[in-house]
Amino acid sequence: MASEGESNNLAGVRHIILVLSGKGGVGKSTISTEIALALRHVGKKVGILDVDLCGPSIPRMLNVHNKDVHQCEGGWVPVFVDQEKSISLMSIGFLLEHPDDAVVWRGPKKNALIKQFVSDVAWGELDFLIVDTPPGTSDEHITTVDALRPFHPMGAVLVTTPQAVSIGDVRRELTFCKKMGLPIIGIVENMSGFVCPHCTECTNIFSKGGGEELARHAGVPFLGCVPLDPNLAQSLEVGKDFLQEFPKSSTYASIISIAQQILDKAANSSS
């Protein structure tokens, strides 16, 4: 059973999505950020919970890394990304005294903060809460899933890159989701080709199709491919909304398609 505080703070959240991968460096934070922005573009109110405690990069990606969190009667107030308060964010990055401080914590302290993030952040009314997780299938992931379980997460989006080594790690993440009873929304293949900023042609600098093949083999949806795009990378570096800046790019179409499938899945789960 959820505690009273947890019920109050997550009662207004309609759908919870975890972004997972068994491997680091595949772009989970990028996919989390762009899904949030895409959902905002269609009028949804979105929260992002960044539980990647040792690598909190989303505050910088959304250009709010210099903001502070505040306390209210219900707990921590998340940082709002825009004036409309359509995207809110909670991250350990806001709690560090200096941005370059390393989080040198043992598992129990990390797990305690994750539980506190779930119970003590006053999210208010949200259509979606996106949870960006660290790599792997360890204590932090078990704690996150267990803490959110009473609120019936919609499921997990698994992120991979085309290479076989990444596919193998994500295959283990599929096993983790199965053991934890976490539904799988689908698989995203990130860094799938390279979009030339001059001619916009997409070239497969890695292998291609591994994510789609993994989804087919596992019997889960394949949500799509997101190519390496210098404009996307630059937008994340300076905290700009790539989808607003480059609506004609093929990467824009890929991200919007992924978000639409998530919306469709959410609509079906609510009906």
Where is 46: in which H helix or E strand?
Answer: strand 46-50
CA distance 95 to 86: 22
Query: Residues comprising the binding site for [4Fe-4S] cluster?
Result: 196, 199
Query: Residues comprising the binding site?
Result: 22-29, 196, 199
Amino acid at 122: A
Do 228 and 205 form a contact (C-beta atoms < 8 A)?
yes
Q: Which superfamily is assigned to 4-270 in CATH? A: P-loop containing nucleotide triphosphate hydrolases (3.40.50.300)
State both tokens at 31: 């996919």
For the chain, the farthest-separated pair of C-alpha atoms sits apart, in whole angstroms, at 55
**Stated length of the chain:** 271
Where would I find the H helices in 125-163?
139-148
Which among 190, 181, 229 has a CA at the least distance from the CA of 208? 190
State both tokens at 262: 């998530």
Boundaries of every domain in the chain: 4-270
At 33, give phi and psi (nearest 5°). -65, -45
Residues 6+ apart with CB under 8 A from 61: 29, 30, 33, 236, 239
* Contacts within 8 Å (CB) and 24+ apart, 152-155: 152/16, 153/16, 153/17, 153/18, 153/182, 153/183, 154/15, 154/16, 154/17, 154/183, 154/185, 154/265, 154/266, 154/269, 155/17, 155/18, 155/182, 155/183, 155/184, 155/185, 155/265
Question: For residue 31, what are the CA distances in angstroms to 25, 36, 74, 103, 258?
Answer: 12, 8, 29, 23, 10
Predicted confidence pLDDT, tens digits, the chain (271 residues): 344 444 479 999 999 999 998 778 889 999 999 999 999 999 999 999 999 988 899 999 999 998 988 888 889 999 999 999 999 999 999 988 777 777 777 888 999 999 999 999 999 999 999 999 988 888 899 999 999 999 999 999 999 988 877 788 888 899 999 999 999 999 999 988 777 776 667 777 666 778 888 999 899 999 999 998 999 999 999 999 999 999 999 899 999 999 999 999 999 887 6
Query: Residues comprising the binding site for ATP?
Result: 22-29
CA 199 remoteness from chain centre? 30
CA distance 233 to 270: 34
CA distance 225 to 182: 23
Q: For residue 249, give the 3-state DSSP assignment.
A: coil
